[in-house]
Chains A and B, each alone.
Chain A
Amino acid sequence: MRKLRIKRLSLRAFVLPGLSFLLAMFFGALLIIFSDSTVLKHIGHPIAFIKAGGVAVWQSYLALFQGSIYNPSLATPHDGLFAWYPLSETLVSAAPLILAGLSVALAFRAGLFNIGAQGQFIFGSIAASYVGFHFHLPIGIHVIAAVLAAVVAGAIWGGLVGLLKARTGAHEVIVTIMLNYVALYFLMWLLGTTTFLRPGRRDPISPDVLSSARMPLLAGNNYRVNFGIFIALAAAVFVWWLLSKSTWGFRFRAVGANTAAAKTAGISVPFVMTSAMAISGALAGLGGAVHILGSDFALTSGTAGNFGFEAITVALLGRAKPLGTVFASILFGALRAGGGTMQANTNTPIDIVLVIQALVVLFIAAPAVIKWVFRLKNLKSTGDLTAKGWNG
């Protein structure tokens, strides 16, 4: 009986994101049709127009698939499996995103809106990179030390937000936005110092991390997929355990859902805010480590890319649950990896991918649209996202 309930619940949890994605793909298809000049030539002839449009959409989405999962044309007589190279790229993009997404999701569950994953990610990257290129340590120990440094740096940068909120009531959204700028400009300043600037270079780039500090590759030297994806999945399991099986997670959820009642029952709200933000920051910092030690190896001013902001999106898409965040991150990793191929092989610009990503979030945020389009009656929001607005 209990098993049955759980099944039904998780089905419902997938319905809304799944349908949102479908609908976003549909609007993406419309954009592909109407942005393709060769298709628009046929606008006067409905049948030819539909045909050309169909072909354009099919080719674009096929390229998206081939760029993100499996591309038979990459297979060589020597290496038939190389057709899976795109999947490796998807996982490389997904690993840091999963970690940053978990960071946002965990904070959400504690009632905190962590916009600062970007800054925490940057600090993690800086710490991992510094330990990675500056110190000479034995293989194995070196990578662990670099990862730990990133975790600590992220935890401090995140915990600071929680501490400020707990002690002064400063709203975490404002604080994290500002700390993102601080982190970014700190990174740019660092890349101008002799310690961080790669010898012989004038553009802002650090030395590569030593090979002893890099994540082990999982599928040989031809693929970039590395141990980082396992770290990300392990972190997801950890967050799941933390939220559902530990006293800390219990307190996070209690404070997130009703601060006043948690306080009345004797839970220390300042401690929860600080510790939740520290763990959240640690996860984002770990994302930075996986990114630097797994695939990028060197710091640049654009190191964090969009990870910290896409993290908010995947956490929303994953309904602030660890498993959901993992799926959403892999989906976004695939879109990121496949978008380039799509742009190269078809007339479709990579911006379509951004539109699809944005629409997915829009539909998730406005479930009424999905209910209306798909004529759903009993789809209820599950209410796990507990971050509050400005008055919270």
Chain B
Amino acid sequence: MKIVVCIKQVPNTDKVRINEATGTLIREGVPSIINPDDMNALEAALALKDQDANVHVAVITMGIPQAEDALREALAMGADEAIHLTDRAFAGSDTWATATVLAAALRKIGDYDLVICGRQAIDGDTAQVGPELAEFLGLPQITYVRELSVENNRVRAKRAVETGYFEMEAPLPALLTVIKDLNKPRMMDIRLIYKAYSDQADYKFWTAQDIGVDLTQIGVSNSPIPPVIFETWIFPPRSFSIKAPISRFT
């Protein structure tokens, strides 16, 4: 069975600091991580591989060159193959364009049985790419997966809703988006870290041309939603007591 896991490298929003003077977020120097929900997606794939050594786990990301760290980390967790989609033409893509690119890449891969995505990214928070990708590829999709199993070429999953869950089933190939309740992602194996950075690592770079994607559907100029910078204003706490000064540590 071939599983493709879609991951995204995002800024660690836990570690974002505030510029005291302007009240806005400081973006520089913020460490990058694999999006948390995507870690659950990867863990789900690796757990299936634990049960059956014939399972092949490929991890794919559309990202700038720096996203390599995310893919190497995935390899160090146990993924078999990493595919890095990187091209100037992808820059500024919104969810439509991103899903278009990923779909083209998946069509190139061809023989996948299961696509697993995280529910949503902590920087965009849209939760759109997974479902869009399923639609572009014509795959049945189950979202908000909190429990899953694969048997007889079908996937069974519990889809979380506010008041409980739906039990759903789909034939393979199918696409799932998963939530953090699904599992606890494993840690990296130090030996796999060295393997991930060695010549033995199965790491590919694909450009727009490699995947044959329609250039009129991708990039900033073709994104229905342009990147909007949301400025976050934090108002410092004001004390009405005469004596207490405002500490810069709070």
- The finding on whether chains A and B are genuine partners in a shared complex, rather than unrelated, reads no
- Please list the residues of chain B having a beta carbon within 8 angstroms of any beta carbon in chain A: none
Q: Which residues of A line the B interface, CB within 8 A? A: none
